[in-house]
Amino acid sequence: MGGALPPLSLAQRRPTHGPFVRLLAHSQVLLAVLLGGFSLGQAAPIFETFSKGCAAAANIFRVIDRVPAIDPESEEGEVLPEEVRPSRLSRATCAAAVRV
C-alpha cells in the first residue's frame, strides 16, 4: 500500500522565508505607501476647502456671539420727531452684479 501523499494546500506550498518573500513583503509595503500618498494628494484640495469653511464659520459665530453696542430693548436715547421718521418704501428695486 504505497498510497500517494495528499496534495499540499496553497499555504503549505508558499515559501515562508527567503529573499523572494522579503522582496514580496517590501514591494507590498512600497505599494501601500505609494497608494496612500496618491490618496492624500487627491484629498489635499478638500482639506483646503474644509479649512476655509471652518474659518468662515468661526467668523460667523463671532458675529453672532458679540454683544451689540446699542441695546435694542432700551427706551433711552434720542427719538426722532414724528415728521422726520423714515417712511416705508414701496416699489423699490435693487440690482446687483452677478458673478459667473
Question: What's the pLDDT tens digit per position in 74-99?
Answer: 888 777 666 766 677 788 887 877 76
Q: Is residue 6 part of a domain?
A: no
Q: Is residue 11 part of a domain?
A: no
User: Structurally, how many domains does the chain consist of?
Assistant: 1
Question: What's the pLDDT tens digit per position in 1-58?
Answer: 556 666 666 555 666 666 767 778 888 899 999 999 999 888 888 888 999 999 999 9
The DSSP 8-state label assigned to residue 84 in this structure reads G
Helices and strands in the chain, H and E counts? 2, 0
Q: Can you give the pLDDT at residue 100?
A: 59
Contact between residue 14 and residue 20 where contact means Cβ atoms under 8 Å apart: no
Q: Can you give the pLDDT at residue 65?
A: 93
Q: Can you give the pLDDT at residue 35?
A: 94
Residue 17: strand, helix, or coil: coil
Q: Is residue 82 part of a domain?
A: no
Distance CA 65, CA 82 (A): 34
Range of the domain at 51: 18-66
